[in-house]
Amino acid sequence: MNRDELLKALYEETLVGNAPRVLELTDEGLAGGLSPEELLFESLIPSLEEVGARFERGDFFVPEMLIAGKAMAGALEVLRPLLAETGVESVGTFVMGTVKGDVHDIGKNLVNIMLEGAGFHVIDLGVQVAPERFVAAIEEHRPDIVGFSAFLTTTMPMFKANINALEKAGLRDQVIVMVGGAPVTQEYADAVGADGYASDASAAVARAKELLGRRRAAALA
Ligand code: B1M
């Protein structure tokens, strides 16, 4: 199989949720010299976007979304150590979680991997994280940044609930708040009072570094 055939096959097998074949193709791609980024951005992510489009059109239902998501998650586990390879000392601590009511975690996990790759120490609280769990984790780990992911329009309001909980606990000034997830926009992030927003994993890393740099510079001034 040449490069384009392999990327196409990986796209198709992810679309139908054939997890064993997705793993095989991921391994074959890497062995054949494709980079983890090529597999991710040219096959796996576009395939899940198509899954979402089919779900919206009523061609796919939740079970199809679930098996495609599982197939993607399996490939991500293979790619994780390669994407997160870093010799960099920890640049900062990042507490991350998907908000209460939301079980989507593939995008969050990808952001975590890229943050780790950029040298962040990431504490992942998982999915369905209630405001009080974010508060407890911030009190325990004293992170530089807390990240809230939401993938549904119905769970995005949890950003505000989380920020309110941080304010109530007296923690809001001590931590940078970043938000993201498929339906989130810069406007929404501004409206809820987040410090930063990013549309994808690479942008999240760049934004996290920028916000941290600014905060550290302000502390020194
Ligand atoms: Co769901 N789902 N889902 N789903 N699902 C979406 C999100 C949806 C857009 C599909 C669609 O209609 N097109 C839609 C939401 C519509 C909306 O609210 N606007 C939807 C729906 C409706 C639902 C259910 C309600 C379906 C139902 O039950 N009727 C249900 C909700 C369950 C719940 O959470 N309570 C549901 C369930 C599921 C599954 C469990 C079956 C499965 C999740 C599996 C899992 O995550 N473990 C699933 C899946 C797979 C999807 C789609 C198809 C793929 C999501 C994904 O992994 N994308 C999705 C369609 C789509 O997104 N096109 C869909 C790939 C991932 C790499 O991208 O998640 O955007 P993304 O993450 C990006 C950025 O958002 C950003 O960086 C990531 C990497 O680049 N980012 C951040 C993420 N977090 C960030 C944090 C940051 C910064 C950036 O800073 C802190």
CA atoms of 81 and 40, how far apart (whole Å): 14
Calpha distance 129→47 (Å, rounded): 27
Q: Read off the pTM.
A: 0.92
User: Residues 101, 200: one domain?
Assistant: yes
Instruction: Name beta bridge partners: 122.
Output: 94
Residues 156, 185: one domain? yes
pLDDT tens track, the chain, 221 positions: 899 999 999 999 999 999 999 999 999 999 999 999 999 989 998 998 899 899 989 999 989 988 999 999 999 899 988 887 755 567 899 999 999 999 999 999 989 988 887 889 999 999 999 999 999 999 999 999 999 999 999 999 999 999 999 999 999 999 999 999 999 999 999 999 999 999 998 899 999 999 999 998 888 88
Do 21 and 48 have their domain in common? yes
**Pair 55, 79: CB distance under 8 Å:** no
Q: Is the CB of 206 under 6 A from ligand 1?
A: no
**The last residue of a domain, from among 56, 71, 86:** 86
What is the C-alpha separation between 88 and 118, in angstroms, rounded? Answer: 7
Q: What does each C-alpha distance from 48 to 70, 73, 84 come to in angstroms? A: 11, 11, 22
Q: Ligand 1, from 49, 151, 152, 202: best to mutate by most atoms within 8 Å of Cβ?
A: 151
- Residue with CA closest to ligand 1 atom 35: 102
Q: Tell me, what CATH number does 161's domain have?
A: 3.40.50.280
Judge if 185 and 155 occupy the same domain: yes
Q: Closest Cα partner for 131 from 105, 97, 107, 106?
A: 97
